[in-house]
Protein backbone atom coordinates (compact mmCIF):
# COMPACT_ATOMS: atom_id res chain seq x y z
CA UNK A 1 0.00 0.00 0.00
CA UNK A 2 1.53 3.35 -0.99
CA UNK A 3 1.97 6.14 1.52
CA UNK A 4 -1.01 8.50 1.67
CA UNK A 5 -0.56 11.88 0.04
CA UNK A 6 -0.78 15.13 1.95
CA UNK A 7 -4.22 15.68 0.42
CA UNK A 8 -5.35 12.24 1.64
CA UNK A 9 -4.12 13.02 5.15
CA UNK A 10 -5.82 16.43 5.15
CA UNK A 11 -9.09 14.83 4.07
CA UNK A 12 -8.86 12.36 6.97
CA UNK A 13 -7.89 15.04 9.49
CA UNK A 14 -10.77 17.30 8.51
CA UNK A 15 -13.18 14.43 9.26
CA UNK A 16 -12.06 14.25 12.90
CA UNK A 17 -14.37 15.49 15.64
CA UNK A 18 -13.40 18.90 16.98
CA UNK A 19 -12.01 17.55 20.26
CA UNK A 20 -9.71 15.09 18.51
CA UNK A 21 -8.65 17.80 16.06
CA UNK A 22 -7.65 20.07 18.96
CA UNK A 23 -5.60 17.28 20.56
CA UNK A 24 -3.92 16.50 17.24
CA UNK A 25 -3.07 20.17 16.69
CA UNK A 26 -1.50 20.40 20.15
CA UNK A 27 0.61 17.31 19.50
CA UNK A 28 1.75 18.63 16.11
CA UNK A 29 2.61 22.03 17.62
CA UNK A 30 4.67 20.34 20.34
CA UNK A 31 6.56 18.24 17.79
CA UNK A 32 7.31 21.30 15.63
CA UNK A 33 8.46 23.30 18.68
CA UNK A 34 10.73 20.45 19.81
CA UNK A 35 12.20 20.07 16.33
CA UNK A 36 12.82 23.82 16.09
CA UNK A 37 14.47 23.92 19.52
CA UNK A 38 16.69 20.97 18.63
CA UNK A 39 17.81 22.73 15.47
CA UNK A 40 18.64 25.87 17.45
CA UNK A 41 20.43 23.89 20.14
CA UNK A 42 22.45 22.03 17.51
CA UNK A 43 24.01 25.29 16.31
CA UNK A 44 25.10 26.09 19.86
CA UNK A 45 27.31 23.01 20.01
CA UNK A 46 29.36 23.86 16.91
CA UNK A 47 31.98 25.64 19.00
CA UNK A 48 32.38 22.55 21.16
CA UNK A 49 33.54 20.61 18.10
CA UNK A 50 36.48 22.98 17.54
CA UNK A 51 39.68 21.04 18.41
CA UNK A 52 41.52 24.30 19.17
CA UNK A 53 39.01 25.08 21.90
CA UNK A 54 39.46 21.73 23.67
CA UNK A 55 40.88 23.15 26.90
CA UNK A 56 40.21 19.99 28.90
CA UNK A 57 42.28 17.70 26.70
CA UNK A 58 45.63 17.13 28.36
CA UNK A 59 48.66 16.73 26.16
CA UNK A 60 51.13 14.19 27.55
pLDDT in tens, 25-42: 999 999 999 998 888 887
Contact in structure between 42 and 34 (CB atoms under 8 Å): no
pLDDT for res 45: 73
Could you tell me what percent of the chain has a pLDDT over 70?
75
Summarize the confidence of residues 14-29 as an average pLDDT: 97
Least Cα distance to 28 among 36, 44, 7, 8 occurs for: 36
Amino acid sequence: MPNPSVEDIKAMVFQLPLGELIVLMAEIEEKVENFTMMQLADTGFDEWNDPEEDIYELET
